[in-house]
Amino acid sequence: MSIWEFLRTYGPALASGTLTTCTEFVLATAIAIIVAVVMGLAKLSSNWLIRAPAIVYIEIFRGTSLLVQLYWIFFVLPLFGITLPKSIAGFLSVGLNCGAYGAELVRGAIQSVPRGQWEAATAISLSPAVRMRRIILPQALSIMLPPWGNLLIELLKGTALVALISVSDLMFEVKQINAMTYLSAQAFGTALVIYYLLARFLITPFMRWLERVVARGLGRV
Amino acid sequence: MVRFLNVNKDYGKLSVIHQLDFDVAEGEMVTIIGPSGSGKTTVLRILMTLEPISGGVIYVNGKPLTHMAKAGVLVPADERHFRQMRSSIGMCFQHFNLFPHMTALQNCMEGPVQVLGLAKKEARERSEELLTMVGMIDKKDQHPSRLSGGQQQRVAIARALAMRPKVMLFDEVTSALDPEVIGEVTNVIRKLVAEHNLTMLMVTHQMGFARDISDRVCFFYGGKIEEEGSPHDLFENPQRDRTRQFLSAVKEAY
Ligand SMILES: Nc1ncnc2c1ncn2[C@@H]1O[C@H](COP(=O)(O)OP(=O)(O)OP(=O)(O)O)[C@@H](O)[C@H]1O
Ligand SMILES: [Mg+2]
């Protein structure tokens, strides 16, 4: 079977899988961003009771495997009475996992905003909350955007694991095609190319664009 | 206006400010000079509440700066008290520290809008007036990255003044500037001295400027005031050996 014939036959299944992958990616990214900001800020808190949970969270989710976390959320949580639909369990575990990495990016970026900026903000009497929101975070954003670009590509690749709990994403469709036809090279080759194209021609240009927007906000054009 | 009573500041074992008693009257312009590491910057940072003190009490405008009176005794101040006290003090830094993501005008408006709760329009009028005063009104929509050092420092002065402080602190505001633009910043400070009744505390290495402009000059040495007096007395007729040594060393360097 030629590659064109393959694509014509399995195009719809591949397209639907790709769409699911994109959905999982977007939702997981949203979770990762929220978790990263909350945990990153919490880890910087001077209050021990706020800092400790963030440290524990980051240690657990960075220190253990994403696949094990996924299985925990999908297979073990129901034993405690929390049953999640598989697609939600999928993006939730990917998002929570990447959020832990993101939290460290947020924390590191906040800490690398020059001390003079904190002091100047304090000298005009800004409250700690306003200082963080109006002065520190906008500058931290420009520092952390490039590493976030890498993290989001990792996140996209991580979503392939949700196929293992039968979310019908790109990887799941490709495995099915392979099981039915034994056209392994075509099936997994196409998956490889699609993941690459998504990372290279959607995520990377989008992040570059964001970096430019933020740089313009800093008057550095 | 500002009163230090027996103030100490230690960094671990290092005593940087040692039993400092120091008064600045309302409307007075006091210049602090002294060798590197003598604690000049530390005095200003303590006043701006950027550094906690290790002992003693500071009064600003009659109120304790780092303490609050609670049931008749002084207890360490909380964040709210600090914020309230800070609003009567403004500071300009050696490296300007303008907010890079805001234009000159936005830098000036930030405090009035976020802290004083002024309406945008009122904050803008106030800021534009100050930017005019420092000669930066035609650059008001530029980001700091587009401004020269001297221009940034003038915006930083306007930003501090926009909070209508009673006390202004200047920490070597010309040290990071090219020689040919120092004048544009010192002229702004001269204007402030001539036209406003601000209490000012300035650290500088420009002895000529200190001499022209100050009501009083304090020579710091080892975290203490070694000698103080009118600019004329201190520069023409220093009493202490250390002052004489410092002044002659500075004269050679410039
Ligand atoms: N954060 C800090 N931790 C430890 N030591 C410090 C700290 N900040 C300042 N010091 C020390 O305190 C002393 C006084 O510093 P300060 O900055 O007040 O000096 P200065 O008179 O302003 O000197 P310069 O003319 O070089 O600016 C110095 O010995 C310095 O090393
Ligand atoms: Mg200094």
Q: Does A135 touch chain B (CB under 8 A)?
A: yes
pLDDT at residue A191 greater than cutoff 80: yes
Q: Does B87 touch chain A (CB under 8 A)?
A: yes
Residue B250 has what pLDDT? 85
Number of compact structural domains in chain A: 1
Q: Does A124 touch chain B (CB under 8 A)?
A: yes
Of all protein residues, whose CA lies closest to atom 9 belonging to ligand 1? B42
Residue B23 in contact with residue B2, Cβ under 8 Å? yes
Characterize A36-60 residue by residue with b for buried, 16 or more Cβ atoms within 10 angstroms of its Cβ, and e for exposed.
Answer: beebbbbbeeeeeeeeeebeebbee
Kindly determine whether residue A128 and residue B144, on different chains, have CB atoms separated by under 8 Å.
no
Chain B residues with CB-CB distance to A217 below 8 A: 101
Residue A2 has what pLDDT? 81
Kindly determine whether residue A120 and residue B97, on different chains, have CB atoms separated by under 8 Å.
yes
Kindly determine whether residue A220 and residue B145, on different chains, have CB atoms separated by under 8 Å.
yes
Q: What angle do CA B166, B170, B173 make, to 5 degrees?
A: 145
Residue B106 has what pLDDT? 97
- Pick among A113, A125, A145, A220 to test the B interface (most B CBs inside 10 A): A125
> Chain B 157-176, CB below 8 Å of chain A: which residues?
159-160, 162-163
pLDDT at residue A221 greater than cutoff 70: no
Q: What angle do CA A53, A118, B136 make, to 5 degrees?
A: 150
Q: Does A138 touch chain B (CB under 8 A)?
A: yes
Average pLDDT over residues A155-161: 94
If you measure from the C-alpha of residue B136 to the centroid of ligand 2, how many angstroms do you get, rounded to a whole number? 27
Nearest by CB to residue A218, choosing from B87, B97, B101, is B101
* Residues in CB range of B29: below 8 A, 6 or more apart: B193, B200, B202, B213, B214, B215, B216
Residue B20 has what pLDDT? 93
Residue B202 has what pLDDT? 96
Chain A residues with CB-CB distance to B144 below 8 A: 219
Average pLDDT over residues B71-83: 81
Of all protein residues, whose CA lies closest to atom 31 belonging to ligand 1? B37
| pLDDT, tens digit, 9 for 90 and up, residues A11-59 | 999 999 999 999 999 999 999 999 999 999 999 999 999 999 999 999 9
Of the listed ligands, the closest to the CA of B32 is 1
Of all protein residues, whose CA lies closest to atom 13 belonging to ligand 1? B37
pLDDT at residue A121 greater than cutoff 90: yes
Q: Is the ipTM of this complex over 0.95?
A: no
Residue B109 has what pLDDT? 97
Kindly determine whether residue A123 and residue B86, on different chains, have CB atoms separated by under 8 Å.
yes
Computed over every residue of chain A, the mean pLDDT equals 94
Angle of helix A48-63 versus helix A86-111 axis, rounded to 10: 120
Average pLDDT over residues B104-114: 97
- Indicate which CATH number applies to the domain containing A177: 1.10.3720.10
| pLDDT, tens digit, 9 for 90 and up, residues A125-136 | 999 999 999 999
Q: Does B49 touch chain A (CB under 8 A)?
A: yes
Of all protein residues, whose CA lies closest to atom 26 belonging to ligand 1? B36
Q: Does B99 touch chain A (CB under 8 A)?
A: yes
Average pLDDT over residues A168-188: 92
Contact B39 CB / ligand 1 (< 6 Å): yes
pTM for this one? 0.90
Least confident range of A90-99, A189-198, B70-79, B108-117: B70-79
Query: How does residue B40 score in pLDDT terms, banded at 50, 70 and 90?
Result: very high
Contact B103 CB / ligand 1 (< 6 Å): no
Mutate to test the pocket of ligand 1, among B32, B41, B221, B242 (most ligand atoms within 8 A of CB): B41
Computed over every residue of chain B, the mean pLDDT equals 92
Nearest-angstrom CA–CA distance, B242 and B233:
15
Kindly determine whether residue A123 and residue B79, on different chains, have CB atoms separated by under 8 Å.
no
Residue B63 has what pLDDT? 87
Chain B residues with CB-CB distance to A213 below 8 A: none
Residue B33 in contact with residue B23, Cβ under 8 Å? no
Contact B40 CB / ligand 1 (< 6 Å): yes
If you measure from the C-alpha of residue B111 to the centroid of ligand 1, how many angstroms do you get, rounded to a whole number? 28
Of all protein residues, whose CA lies closest to atom 22 belonging to ligand 1? B41
Average pLDDT over residues B73-100: 90
Structure tokens at A6: 């393959």
Kindly determine whether residue A134 and residue B114, on different chains, have CB atoms separated by under 8 Å.
yes
Where do the H-state alpha helices sit in A112-169?
115-123, 128-130, 137-158
Query: How does residue A216 score in pLDDT terms, banded at 50, 70 and 90?
Result: confident
Nearest-angstrom CA–CA distance, B54 and B40:
16
Nearest-angstrom CA–CA distance, B20 and B5:
7
Cα distance from A127 to chain B (closest Cα, Å)? 7
Residue B192 has what pLDDT? 92
| pLDDT, tens digit, 9 for 90 and up, residues B150-189 | 999 999 999 999 999 999 999 999 999 998 999 999 999 9
Query: How does residue A220 score in pLDDT terms, banded at 50, 70 and 90?
Result: low
Question: What range defines the domain where residue A90 resides?
Answer: 3-217
pLDDT at residue B70 greater than cutoff 80: no
Chain B residues with CB-CB distance to A119 below 8 A: 48, 50, 93, 97
Kindly determine whether residue B143 and residue A124, on different chains, have CB atoms separated by under 8 Å.
no
Residue B254 has what pLDDT? 63
Distance, first Cα to last Cα, chain B? 34
